[in-house]
Each structure stands twice: as structure tokens, then as C-alpha cells.
């Protein structure tokens, strides 16, 4: 947790090239493929100025906020940015560690582990929002002579607000390059056996370590405005399929689990049931021990560590709950690294 002391400049930390952790890429001028992981991003520091920069970039994405641009510009600049950065900075301070942003640190660990699993291929990651920017990773791979690029968006379930936004960011980076590689993008892997295997392994491991038996299990996914779904976004179908496969493998009785949606923003109706309302209702009807997993997040971040691990925990306990366990995300678990390798090799068939 961040104290009142001035934190080390995250800009200096995040701006450090990823190649400081590996030997620099050398130009090969061949058709050797490369691997690129795309993650959403993180603020440079848990401070109001850093959160203002981050939120301005994030909430300016028309894929994230589907609203008339001029109207939204006024809302963003005169209603949201004057107040929300302070609230968000306080939340990030609760999860910030000596390694900095958990999302950045864990994404780096994932990338390093995948690099060890794919020794003959350069593996890099880039952020859609903030640092290190996706454009830098793209440029580094191109300068190294990569002519075939396999891209893995870190979003198992497709949504225009996540996967499509990642593709927008990727192609915007390509506009800055003279040479662009051939590309293959790993399709949404919400029902891929390797992804499901990794989720099952982590959930079972954490359940085995508990000293109490959960009364109820929650599978919480990031929410989405209902109007996005009405416009054709397949996200809830992907979530439903992931849930079906997980429940089939875990064998939880129907009356002991609920699939919910978290992270609402604004006044529009979002996909339901809501995670926070469900936890309150469970506690009030006598459920005292709950286990919460977040299968849609491949990496622990603010939405898992603070929204679930802190805010949802407090909500549940205040309503009468006693024991609350937040299951970690896939992170750099060996089963997830193995799954990532499988996804890359399958998409790269004929290239690798």
C-alpha cells in the first residue's frame, strides 16, 4: 500500500525498455515470426496527475464509450476528469506494490515466462493505454526483422470494447511504420481447452488451500452496457460458454454458484446480475462463506485486487458475511503459460 511519501516515478520505471530484462533483439532480416501480447494498460503512478492522463486516454476511446463525441468530450473534461482521478488514485494506492503496478509487473512476468517457453521467438508486450506503449513493442519487433507477427490479445471473451479496441491500437501503431509484418491474431479463446484447463487448475489449487468450505461460489466477469449487446456484441454469449465449461469441470451444484458482472460505469443499464448486489443478497440470506473467481481477467489488476479483494469483501462482510476468498487470476501460473504457448503455436501453424 502506498504511504503519503512520494513514490518513485512510475514513468521512469515503466519507460524502461522490456529488453532490459532480456538480451536485446538483433536484426535478423528473415521471416522469423514474433509474438506480441496486448494488454489494456495501467497508470504510471497511483497519483492524481497520472490517473488523469490514464483516464483521459482510456475514456476517449470510442470503442469504450459509445456516445456522440462532442457531448462525451464535454462530459469527460468537465464532469469526470475534475473528480474521478482523485477517487481512482486512492484505489490504486491500495494495490500498488514495491514492484509498481500489479498489472504491469504481472504482464512482464507472463511475457518473460512465455519467452522461456518459446525460446526461438521474440516475445514482447505492449499496452493500449499508458506505458510501455504498444507502438514501441511493434517498432522493436519490426526493427529486429520480424516479418510474421502472432498477436495474443489478453481478453479471452470478445468485446468491441476490449479486443476490437486492441486491434484499433495495433493498426494505429502500424501507421507509423514503413514495413509492417504479416499478422495472425489469436481468436477469442473463451472455450479453448487450454484456457479452461488453466482456470480449473488455479481454482482447484486455491480451494484446496482454504481452511473452510465455501457456501457459495461466484464467477465474476467484467460488465458491459446492455446497449452494446443490443448492437451485436457477442460478449455475454462468450461469458456464458466459459461459465458452462468451468462448471462442468468443477462439478459445483447449481444452487451453489452464480455468474455475475462487475465494474459498472455511468448510469446506463449493464449486464446483470451485478456482482456487488449479488454478494449483498447472499449475505443477507445467510451465506457466510463465499469464494469469488474472476475468469475473464488474465492478469490481476485494479478490478480484481481492489474492486473484488477490497470493496466487494467489505460489502459482503458488512451485510453479514464472514469468510471471503478472492481467487487469483491466471497471472504467470505455469498452466496459463502452457496455455498461452498452445494458443500461439496453434495460430502460428505453418509459421513456427
DSSP class per residue in 310-341: IIIHHHHHHTT--EEEE---STT-HHHHHHHH
Give me the domain span that covers residue 73: 10-188
Evaluate if pTM is beyond 0.85: yes
If asked whether residues 38 and 169 sit together in one domain, one would say: yes
If asked whether residues 308 and 205 sit together in one domain, one would say: yes
Rounded-to-integer distance, Cα 125 and Cα 77, Å: 30
pLDDT reported for residue 9: 39
Residue 71 counted as domain residue: yes
- CATH number of the domain residue 205 falls in: 3.40.50.1400
- Number of independent structural domains in the chain: 2
For residue 307, give Cα distances in angstroms to 179, 221, 311, 320.
Answer: 42, 12, 5, 19
Hey, what's the cell of 195?
Answer: 484456457
pLDDT reported for residue 5: 37
Residue 5 counted as domain residue: no
Tell which residue, 336, 35, 328, 346, has the closest CA to residue 194: 336
Q: What share of the chain is helix, strand, coil (3-state, %, to 5)?
A: 45, 15, 35
If asked whether residues 114 and 90 sit together in one domain, one would say: yes
If asked whether residues 249 and 157 sit together in one domain, one would say: no
Rounded-to-integer distance, Cα 251 and Cα 54, Å: 41
For residue 175, give Cα distances in angstroms to 60, 124, 160, 168, 199.
Answer: 20, 19, 21, 11, 37
Hey, what's the cell of 339?
Answer: 496455455
Residue 350 counted as domain residue: no
Rg over CA atoms, the chain: 20
Rounded-to-integer distance, Cα 27 and Cα 142, Å: 9
In sequence order, what are the residues at sequence separation of 6 or more whose Cβ sits closer than 8 angstroms to the Cβ of residue 193?
Answer: none
How does DSSP classify residue 270? B
If asked whether residues 101 and 204 sit together in one domain, one would say: no
Tell which residue, 44, 41, 47, 42, has the closest CA to residue 11: 44
Walk along the chain (352 residues) and give the pLDDT tens digit of each residue: 333 433 443 333 333 344 434 444 544 444 789 999 999 999 999 999 999 999 999 999 999 999 999 999 999 999 999 999 999 999 999 999 999 999 999 999 999 999 999 999 999 999 999 999 999 999 999 999 999 999 999 999 999 999 999 999 999 999 999 999 999 999 999 999 999 999 999 999 999 999 999 999 999 999 999 999 999 999 999 999 999 999 999 999 999 999 999 999 888 999 999 999 999 999 999 999 999 999 999 999 999 999 999 999 999 999 999 999 999 999 999 999 999 999 999 999 999 8
Show the beta-strand stretches assigned E in 107-185. Answer: 123-130, 148-153, 182-185
If asked whether residues 46 and 64 sit together in one domain, one would say: yes
pLDDT reported for residue 267: 86
Residue 240 counted as domain residue: yes
If asked whether residues 222 and 177 sit together in one domain, one would say: no
Q: Report cis status (omega within 30 of 0) of the bond before 273.
A: yes
Domain boundary residue, one of 157, 188, 219? 188
Hey, what's the cell of 256?
Answer: 451453489
- Name the helix (H) or strand (E) containing 291: strand 289-293
pLDDT reported for residue 282: 98
pLDDT reported for residue 116: 98
If asked whether residues 203 and 319 sit together in one domain, one would say: yes
Rounded-to-integer distance, Cα 91 and Cα 51, Å: 11
Task: Write the Ramachandran bin of 90: left for phi over 0, alpha for psi from -120 to 50, otherwise beta.
Answer: alpha
Alpha helix (H) ranges present in 67-176?
Answer: 69-75, 84-95, 102-117, 134-143, 165-174
Domain boundary residue, one of 188, 206, 222? 188
Amino acid at each position: 500500500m502506498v504511504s503519503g511519501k512520494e513514490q518513485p516515478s512510475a514513468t521512469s520505471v515503466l519507460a524502461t525498455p522490456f529488453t532490459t530484462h532480456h538480451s536485446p533483439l538483433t536484426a535478423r532480416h528473415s521471416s522469423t515470426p514474433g509474438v506480441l501480447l496486448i494488454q489494456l494498460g495501467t497508470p504510471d503512478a497511483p497519483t492524481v496527475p497520472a490517473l488523469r492522463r490514464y483516464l483521459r486516454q482510456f475514456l476517449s476511446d470510442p470503442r469504450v464509450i459509445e456516445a456522440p463525441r462532442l457531448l462525451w468530450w464535454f462530459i469527460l473534461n468537465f464532469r469526470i476528469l475534475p473528480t474521478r482521478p482523485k477517487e481512482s488514485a486512492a484505489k490504486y494506492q491500495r494495490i500498488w506494490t514495491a514492484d509498481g503496478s500489479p498489472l504491469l509487473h504481472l504482464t512482464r512476468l507472463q511475457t518473460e515466462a512465455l519467452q522461456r517457453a518459446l525460446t526461438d521467438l521474440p516475445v514482447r508486450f505492449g499496452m493500449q493505454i499508458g506505458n510501455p506503449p504498444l507502438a514501441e513493442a511493434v517498432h522493436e519487433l519490426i526493427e529486429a526483422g520480424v516479418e510474421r507477427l502472432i498477436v495474443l490479445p489478453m481478453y479471452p471473451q470478445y468485446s468491441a470494447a476490449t479486443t476490437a479496441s486492441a486491434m484499433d491500437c495495433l493498426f494505429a501503431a502500424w501507421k507509423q511504420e514503413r514495413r509492417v509484418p504479416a499478422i495472425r491474431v489469436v481468436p477469442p479463446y473463451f472455450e479453448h481447452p487450454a484456457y479452461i484447463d488453466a482456470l480449473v487448475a488455479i481454482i482447484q489449487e486455491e480451494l484446496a488451500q482454504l481452511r473452510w468450505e465455501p457456501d457459495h461460489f461466484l464467477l465474476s466477469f467484467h460488465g458491459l452496457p446492455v446497449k452494446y449487446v443490443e448492437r451485436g456484441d457477442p460478449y455475454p454469449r462468450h461469458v456464458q460458454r466459459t461459465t458452462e465449461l468451468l462448471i462442468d469441470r468443477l462439478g459445483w451444484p447449481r444452487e451453489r454458484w452464480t455468474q455475475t458482472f462487475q465494474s459498472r460505469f455511468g448510469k446506463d443499464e449493464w449486464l446483470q446480475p451485478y456482482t456487488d448486489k449479488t454478494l449483498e443478497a447472499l449475505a443477507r440470506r445467510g451465506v457466510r462463506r463465499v469464494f469469488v473467481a474472476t475468469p475473464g481477467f488474465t492478469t490481476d489488476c485494479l478490478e480484481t485486487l481492489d474492486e473484488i479483494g477490497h470493496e466487494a469483501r467489505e460489502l459482503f462482510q458488512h451485510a453479514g458475511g464472514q469468510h471471503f476468498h478472492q481467487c487469483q487470476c491466471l497471472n504467470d501460473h505455469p498452466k496459463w503459460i502452457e496455455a498461452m504457448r498452445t494458443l500461439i503455436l496453434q495460430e502460428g501453424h505453418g509459421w513456427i
